[in-house]
Structure 1
Amino acid sequence: MTDDLQEGPLAQTQYAPAPTKLTAREQRRRRRQRRKRGEEVLAWILVPVICFGLYWGVNAGFSALGTSPGQVWDQLMQVKALMEKRAG
């Protein structure tokens, strides 16, 4: 118990220098970096959601009309052949 009291003097502590205030240009650059990073994250989320929504919407539209993309393509090819036949 008395050993604790017989220690030497405490060493000097090193204080960290005060943080320097950022310049307006540096603040603007950091804001721009954060905004770009946020836009990237948002794009990685929104692009797949939009693609899936378009796919679902097209399929729902075909289902509502009682047809399929293959049938629509076949009909378009028939119309194209008919137009070529009429022109030639």
Structure 2
Amino acid sequence: MNDELHEGPLTPVTHAPPPQKLTAREQRRRRRQRRRRGEEVLAWVLVPLICFGIYWGITAGFEFMGTSPGQVWDQLMQVKAMMEKRGA
């Protein structure tokens, strides 16, 4: 059983030198880089949510009032026409 081990002399292990400590300027640059990346990801998530929320809010408001954007537009055009007649 000991014949199967194939033991030989140990090879020395070289250790990598410890990483150099970053300068304050380099640390600041990396912090800014991480913050910008985080802000970018947050923007890709929040902007569509905000747009959808605004759309949903407007649609819910029209539903609550029992009207539609087309009807509101037609009424605004009628008011505009009445104001033009009054001014002439």
* TM-score of the aligned structures, taking structure 1 as reference length: 0.85
**Residue in structure 1 matched with residue 21 of structure 2 by the alignment:** 21
Q: Secondary structure at the match of 1:67?
A: coil
Query: How far apart are the structure 2 equivalents of 1:85 and 1:38?
Result: 56
User: How many matched pairs?
Assistant: 86
Show structure 2 runs of 5+ residues with no match: none
TM-score by length of structure 2 reads: 0.85
Structure 1 residue 82 corresponds to structure 2 residue 67: no
RMSD over equivalenced CA pairs, Å: 1.6
Distance 1:54 1:2, change over 3 A: closer
Q: CA deviation at 1:13?
A: 3.8
2:47 aligns with 47
Over 3 Å counting, the alpha-carbon distance change for 1:87 and 1:16 in structure 2 is same
SS of residue in 2 equivalent to 1:61: helix
Cα deviation, 1:6-60, whole Å, max 9, x if unaligned, reads x5x5555443222000011111110111011000100100001111111010011
- Structure 1 position 2, deviation (Å): 6.6
Give identity over the alignment, percent: 71
